[in-house]
Structure 1
């Protein structure tokens, strides 16, 4: 087993990266306006501090969206070739949807999808 193809590939990748970085440095635009370094999003200058701590629920919801969106793609692909897969493919997609439903029920039951959880029970007065 020779390793030279891997070495050539590695050298080619390094060469391409160095070339791209060098060309962007040499050919890139230079801006010296005061607003160049200020952050903005969608053309709107941001307000407040950039070091605001966000709740982990934002990240969890984003991850849940990506996971369920990706699984929707798998179901769409199954729908495209559903006739070719026959009953075996139908049973498999039912199992897949069952696992998705169980996952969603688990997330719902644990409160991972609740933005504002219910108030904690009131403490009893002695």
Structure 2
């Protein structure tokens, strides 16, 4: 028990020292307006370098990723139906699909699934 405590203390000390050193080394120098602006052949930029991003498109992409991950969780459950207890399997699968449907209803009710407003 003493060895584990000693090793944990040494590991914590080494990690803390490395984090402090990296924090000190990564200090950025003073940034002025000229250094932060984009360079266009020595002239001031004609337009903003940032392109407008559609927040609605981002929400649709996040919803797609969430449901895509949930599908990847459902596929192994389908493959393990032969080796699992049917009652437990049915409860877990029903609860999982219920959570998916509640989430889908919530997104639909909030209007996140409407492409145009």
TM-score > 0.5 by shorter chain: yes
After TM superposition, list the pairs within 5 Å mapping 1:87-106 onto structure 2. Answer: 87=86, 88-106=88-106
TM-score scaled by length of structure 1 = 0.53
Segments of 5+ residues of structure 1 without an aligned counterpart are 19-37, 39-47, 118-126
What is the aligned-residue RMSD (CA, Å)? 3.4
Alpha-carbon distance in 2 for matches of 1:49, 1:79: 50
Aligned to 2:43: none
Aligned to 2:107: 107
Alpha-carbon distance in 1 for matches of 2:109, 2:58: 19
How many residue pairs end up in the alignment? 91
After TM superposition, list the pairs within 5 Å mapping 1:19-98 onto structure 2. Answer: 49-87=48-86, 88-98=88-98
Segments of 5+ residues of structure 2 without an aligned counterpart are 22-38, 40-46
1:36-75, Cα deviation, whole Å (9 max, x unpaired): xx9xxxxxxxxx8541232322332232122212211211
Q: Which structure has more RCO (C-alpha within 8 Å, separation ≥ 6)? A: 2
Q: CA deviation at 1:7?
A: 4.1
